């Protein structure tokens, strides 16, 4: 997977996480668009950066967090967004 593609994945993840944080979209939408096991599998097959894959995998857990411990959802979203932003800083544009 090229750096350009990895940057695109991170940008999408950050945008979706921010929209979740703002309450503009819901977890179901986020899962359908990036935080799903099928996307993790695809990223692994394309040899994506392992740290990006970890972020997407952790995003797959948001639905469980929302249903089991909803008071922790906002914090988990914030943590994932910060991880993605820090990772994005490592790429050159």
pLDDT higher than 80, residue 93: no
Instruction: Judge if pTM exceeds 0.85.
Output: yes
Share of the chain above pLDDT 70, in %: 100
Tell me what pLDDT residue 5 has: 97
Sign (positive or negative) of CA dihedral 23, 69, 77, 62: negative
Sign (positive or negative) of CA dihedral 45, 51, 56, 57: positive
- C-beta separation of 70 from 27 below 8 A: no
- C-beta separation of 18 from 74 below 8 A: no
pLDDT digits (tens, 9 = 90+) for 37-71: 999 999 999 999 999 999 999 999 999 999 999 99
Closest by CA position to 31, among listed 8, 56, 10: 56
């Amino acid at each position: 997977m090229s750096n350009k593609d990895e940057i695109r994945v991170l940008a999408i993840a950050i945008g979706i996480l921010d929209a979740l944080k703002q309450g503009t979209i819901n977890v179901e939408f986020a899962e359908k668009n990036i935080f799903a096991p099928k996307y993790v599998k695809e990223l692994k097959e394309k040899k994506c950066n392992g740290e990006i894959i970890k972020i997407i995998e952790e995003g797959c857990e948001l639905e469980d967090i929302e249903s089991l411990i909803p008071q922790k959802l906002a914090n988990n979203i914030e943590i994932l967004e910060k991880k993605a932003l820090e990772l994005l800083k490592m790429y050159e544009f």
